Homo-oligomer: A and B are copies of this chain.
Amino acid sequence: MENEPLLMIPGPVPIPQRVRAAMTRQAINHRGPEFGAAYADTVRVLKTLFGTESDLYIISGSGSAGMEAAVANFGRDKRIVSLVNGKFGERFAKIGARYGTVTALESEWGTPLDLAALEQELEAGAEIVTMVHNETSAGIKNPAPEVGKLARKYDALFVMDGITSIGGDEVLMDKWGVDVAVVGSQKCLAAPAGLAAIAIGERAWDRICDKRPFYLDLAAYKKSGSSTPMETPYTPAVPLFLALHEACKMIEEEGIAARIARHRRMAESVRAAAKAWGVELFPKIDEHHAYSNTATAMRIPDGVTDKDLRGTVKKFGIEIAGGQDHLKGKIFRIGTMGSVGAQEILATLAAVQFALRKSGFAAGDGLEAAAEVLLG
């Protein structure tokens, strides 16, 4: 323990010591072979997490920069249909509106997307679909394979925000028909915040816009990424690249299947606790949608305040997330991403259970239920 707050929010997440240590080395030339090899090896691992054989590049910027790169390079002056059932879906629609004509298909946060309406928009000529795979603002996982199929059927591009799923949950970009996908470094990859990785399939390259931004010009990333040693078009955030490379080594050591299974087990244990407590899960899922395997959103029970709940948990040095925007004070969220495990989850759930009971909510024993799940 380092006497630092334990971040059990939906990212940024705790960063393993090995990964942080990778940032302490002296500056290296970002146009040299050592940097190029680290970049290339990171790309190799990330492709396996994206489930793609397509090109993949790393942008020095947040996940939102990656989302904008996807829209700005392929969506300018295009008809974009944005699927929205949470904060990041809304963000994707907002970004789209800066470049093209957006039809936002909005569902209540945490409720299923309207796939029938999507098909209508595609029939009517929409050229790009944007979707957030794992919507942490509401704790719901959206149906990427179904949307991919529809996009292909109507010859549209499918741009997917995989920021909080890739590296923690199963993503099969090529199989699902995703044309462009994005991940952020500070979520399931357990690296520091500040990098976004973006994968671009052939269908997308064929339709890249003539007019593109500069810093987020994916053609520039492709050109620099094809050189030997591999490079970025502009000076990269070198320490973050070295950290992400180390994080990828740890992911390979764990094994992707094991990592995904661990994430699922962690989220399931939180859901088991919620059930035992008598706390309602926030999302309304159906046969196409699922609970998120990386962030669990729960309703704050009547009689309990957000401040009491999260404030009490924080007294134990643990930060969990509240609701965003109109869900402030209504839900709380626990992130189970990256390298955390049973220790962190048990501590977090114990603190939440204590806080619930302290607020007068007669919570059942969520810890035993969670512990059973964690033991598998």
Interface residue ranges, A against B (CB under 8 Å): 2, 4-5, 7, 9, 11-15, 20-21, 23-30, 60-65, 68, 72, 94-95, 98, 184, 186, 192-195, 211-216, 234-240, 243, 319
Residues of B within 8 A of A27 (CB): 7, 12-15, 186, 192-193
Determine how close the nearest CB of chain B comes to the CB of A14; give it in whole angstroms: 6
Residues B65 and A194 in contact, CB atoms below 8 Å apart: no
Residues B240 and A237 in contact, CB atoms below 8 Å apart: yes
Residues A194 and B234 in contact, CB atoms below 8 Å apart: no
Residues A239 and B98 in contact, CB atoms below 8 Å apart: no
Residues of B within 8 A of A214 (CB): 64, 68, 94-95, 98
Question: How long is the Cα–Cα vector from A64 to B232 in the complex, in angstroms?
Answer: 12
Q: Which of B7, B63, B95 contacts A235 (CB under 8 A)?
A: B63
Q: A62-B215, A237-B240 are in contact. List 14 more A-B contacts (CB 8 A).
A: A4-B28, A12-B27, A12-B30, A14-B26, A61-B65, A62-B234, A64-B235, A65-B215, A72-B213, A184-B235, A193-B235, A194-B238, A194-B239, A239-B243
Residues B240 and A194 in contact, CB atoms below 8 Å apart: yes
Residues of B within 8 A of A240 (CB): 194, 237, 239-240
Residues A213 and B61 in contact, CB atoms below 8 Å apart: no
Residues of B within 8 A of A9 (CB): 29
Residues B25 and A23 in contact, CB atoms below 8 Å apart: no
Residues A234 and B192 in contact, CB atoms below 8 Å apart: no
Residues B237 and A237 in contact, CB atoms below 8 Å apart: yes
Residues of B within 8 A of A215 (CB): 61-62, 64-65, 68, 216
Residues A62 and B60 in contact, CB atoms below 8 Å apart: yes
